Chain A
Amino acid sequence: MSALPRIDTYPPPAAPAAPKAVSPIHVGQGVTPLPLPMPAATAPSLWQRFWQGRGATALLGALSIASVLLFWQLATHYKLDAYIRFNNIPTPAQVMEKVIEVNSSPKFVTNIGISVRRILLGFLVATALGVGLGVVIGRYRWARALAMPALEVFRPIPAIAWVPMSIMLWPDNEVSIVFITFLGAFFPILLNTVHGVQAIDPVLLRAARTLGAGEASLLRHVVLPGALPHIFTGLAVGMGVAWVSLIAAEMISGQFGIGYFTWEAYSLISYAEIALGMITIGVLGLLCSGGIRLLAKLAMPWQAHSTGAP
């Protein structure tokens, strides 16, 4: 903060007002415009309207999933063996059968419940600490100077590398798995929050101060909402890494959980269960990132109107 920004320069750095769109017939200056037929004036055909609508997106989506299933079915049915081998891979039908079978006992659902609880615990702690610490580090130079060197040392260590240390560190296996999950989510959330706080336009902070905001109000009403878009990026990335870390931790050290279920299936040579475990992990991850997207929409209603909206 030694030098003050040159705010009194001209031309102003702010973006100029968007120019009005000029229709092409006015482009030829000084020429009497001819009433040329405009291609956009013709009514779109039924096919064009379908192609641009939601129906087409849904259809292509279904096609995308169906082609994966079809390939899976064909590859396993004909036992495709071309460097990658489908000899032992279960067919979609076998996996479907497994879905019904595992749901006859509560074990499978319990495993899912345990994994979800671990994710939620680790992720919530990571969010609270990551956002809290991120705001402080992003806002105050002394905090940044104090905390960042230590955090930079730990950041490159993948959460999975913490598994043995974590088992020694925590008295309980359950806590150590939650800790691994937390570590996976923490750094993306922290770093994105720091970045979000630093990216806030300083004129907004100045404006708030001229309107009588003290430091606490500034943090609550300007810094936090201003950083929210970046925070949610951090949460989305963090959720992905949290799942990676959780599954790895469950496979290595776990009892229970969907990662443990999948690894156990491999040990027991239950091929259909391996596929089922994988698909379940995929669906759970999808639901979690969908949840965060929904939360972002609810927390940032103004974003619906910003760039990109017509």
Chain B
Amino acid sequence: MDMSVASQGRVDVRDLHIRFQSKGQDFEAVRAANVQVRPGEFVSLIGPSGCGKSTLLNAVAGFLKPTAGQVLLDGQRITGPGSDRGVVFQQYSLFPWMTVRANVEFGLRMKGASANERQAQARTLLGLAGLLAFENHYPDQLSGGMKQRVGIVRALATSPQVLLMDEPFGALDSQTRVVMQEILTNMWQRLRISVLFITHDIEEAVFLSDRIYVMTARPGRIKAELDVPLPRPRTAAMTSEPEFAAMVKQIKGLIREESIAAMGGELSDGGLVGLSTEVGPQGVGHLV
């Protein structure tokens, strides 16, 4: 595996619109979103629940077609899923019938790599994630955190240009989550791959990212773009520094407005209009 700083892996989301038909109703998930991931950059997309951040990631992964706008990888239009973009899902997505190593080797097998080549690559990456001792285990024998580490390693095994992560630690308990964030930042430090990371956890986004996009409530638009000034490599100690806290506070403010807007919207959609008065004028202002 090439461990040097990536020269490829530029993601360009240009003026992306995504609409669905849901139960006969037109549903606008993403509106006029512009997102960029530069080669070797760690970028997070953060926003209130249901804001369309996962939808945007799915468009980059190739699972859904944009209604309008463009999604490019290194200048090439994305037409469907492919191994040039590794995806780590929120749910555990390991194949239960394959051992840990067979899971990691799957993408290389699809590429037609030889058994030796596959094994070498898989063992290198499993070693990096501290999972070599578990290579012959089945996913059901692993803890949630270990499963998700295997998921990351599997997505990296085909040497993709970019890693797409859809709330990968969302199902983990908070202790495991913190450890996973440290493991991920260490792995990223070694591999320097482009990452597009979806999360609703502000601390997580600040700790991991070079840059953060904050999305609005539905329909998802890009509300703000912030650089994270924290130095690399990141360590757990940084989370107690004032810079970190200030950044978190700033984003919290941005998200709060949107969360209230999202809740107000949902409540009045559900027919509970009376409750929307509780959110105050700030929330109501976003309802339209």
Q: B interface, by DSSP: helix, strand, loop or mixed?
A: loop
Contact among A4, A203, A204, A228 with B64 in the assembled complex (CB-CB below 8 Å):
A4
Number of A residues contacting the other chain (C-beta, 8 Å)?
A: 39
A8/B49 contact (C-beta < 8 A), A17-B172, A210-B155 known? yes
For the complex, give the distance between the alpha carbons of A6 and B50 in Å: 8
Q: Which residues of B contact A208 (CB under 8 A)?
A: 95, 106
The contact string, 1 if C-beta is below 8 Å from chain B, for chain A 1-33, is 011101111101111110000000000000000
The contact string, 1 if C-beta is below 8 Å from chain B, for chain A 204-223, is 10111111111001000110
The contact string, 1 if C-beta is below 8 Å from chain A, for chain B 130-152, is 00000001111101110000000
Number of B residues contacting the other chain (C-beta, 8 Å)?
A: 56
> Which stretch of A127-135, A231-239, A300-308 is in the interface?
A300-308
Among residues of A, the one whose C-beta sits closest to the C-beta of B21 is A2
Contact among A206, A222, A225 with B89 in the assembled complex (CB-CB below 8 Å):
A206
For the complex, give the distance between the alpha carbons of A14 and B50 in Å: 16
For the complex, give the distance between the alpha carbons of A210 and B81 in Å: 5
Q: Is A97 an interface residue (CB 8 A)?
A: no
For the complex, give the distance between the alpha carbons of A2 and B21 in Å: 7
Q: Is B92 an interface residue (CB 8 A)?
A: yes
For the complex, give the distance between the alpha carbons of A306 and B142 in Å: 10
* A14–B93 CB distance below 8 A: no
Q: Is B79 an interface residue (CB 8 A)?
A: no
Q: Which residues of A contact B111 (CB under 8 A)?
A: 212
For chain B, residues 30 to 81, give those with C-beta under 8 angstroms from any C-beta of chain A. Answer: 49-55, 58, 61-64, 80-81
Q: A interface, by DSSP: helix, strand, loop or mixed?
A: loop
A16/B22 contact (C-beta < 8 A), A8-B55, A204-B93, A228-B97 known? no
Q: Which residues of B contact A204 (CB under 8 A)?
A: 93, 95
A17/B89 contact (C-beta < 8 A), A211-B107, A226-B97, A228-B97 known? no
Among residues of B, the one whose C-beta sits closest to the C-beta of A307 is B140
* A206–B63 CB distance below 8 A: yes
* A17–B143 CB distance below 8 A: yes
For the complex, give the distance between the alpha carbons of A13 and B171 in Å: 8
Q: Which residues of A contact B85 (CB under 8 A)?
A: 210
**Closest beta carbon of chain B to A178's beta carbon, Å:** 33
For the complex, give the distance between the alpha carbons of A129 and B128 in Å: 45
* B110–A212 CB distance below 8 A: yes
Q: Which residues of A contact B (CB under 8 A)?
A: 2-4, 6-10, 12-17, 201, 203-204, 206-214, 217, 221-222, 225-226, 228, 300-302, 305-307, 309
Q: What are 11 residue pairs bridging A and B, where the CB atoms are less than 8 Å apart in the complex?
A: A2-B21, A2-B22, A8-B29, A14-B90, A17-B143, A17-B172, A208-B106, A210-B61, A210-B62, A211-B155, A213-B110
The 9 closest A-B pairs by CB, nearest first: A8-B54, A10-B49, A212-B83, A211-B107, A14-B171, A212-B110, A207-B93, A225-B97, A209-B81
